[in-house]
Amino acid sequence: MGTLGSEVGDSVVEVQHVLARIMRLPMSTVAAVQGHAFAAGAMLALAHDVRVMRSDRGYFCLPEIDLGLSFSDGFAAIIQAKLAQPALHRLAVLGERLDAPTGVDLGFIDVAVAESEVLPTTIDRATTLAPKASPTIAALRANFYGNAIESLAAR
């Protein structure tokens, strides 16, 4: 991000638009987090309905506080929509690096598994959720996360 100079704003907008598109899909989405999920990688995981993360290695982190950056309106909206207050505070305000078991305890990681089980568990979750694919899931997300989706989609 530091090397983008004046293009940083355009890059943030493009990432936000990708997240909005994921959240508008008419199907459930499952993120496989096989290592660290920092900054935009963490935002990408938050855009999904389910997060499966490796339990023995890797951190979930929103390091903006340590970088002296504030969150864009879109990023702030998805953080508020997807994280319960204790997780929001520890990740977004304090910039803590949290492992998968802590993420499960705080509710932003759905399943913590061994490295060899991340992909199979993700595929299993997606397979289980596949029959629910319909415009209804996009409508439900719009009901519950509409402000975040619209903030992410804005220019």
Q: Which of 16, 1, 61, 60 is nearest to 34 (CA)?
A: 60
The domain locations on the chain are 9-153
Fold of the 9-153 domain: 2-enoyl-CoA Hydratase; Chain A, domain 1 (3.90.226)
Q: Does residue 38 contact residue 63 with C-beta atoms inside 8 Å? A: yes
The pLDDT assigned to 3 comes to 53
Which stretches of the chain drop beneath a pLDDT of 50? 4
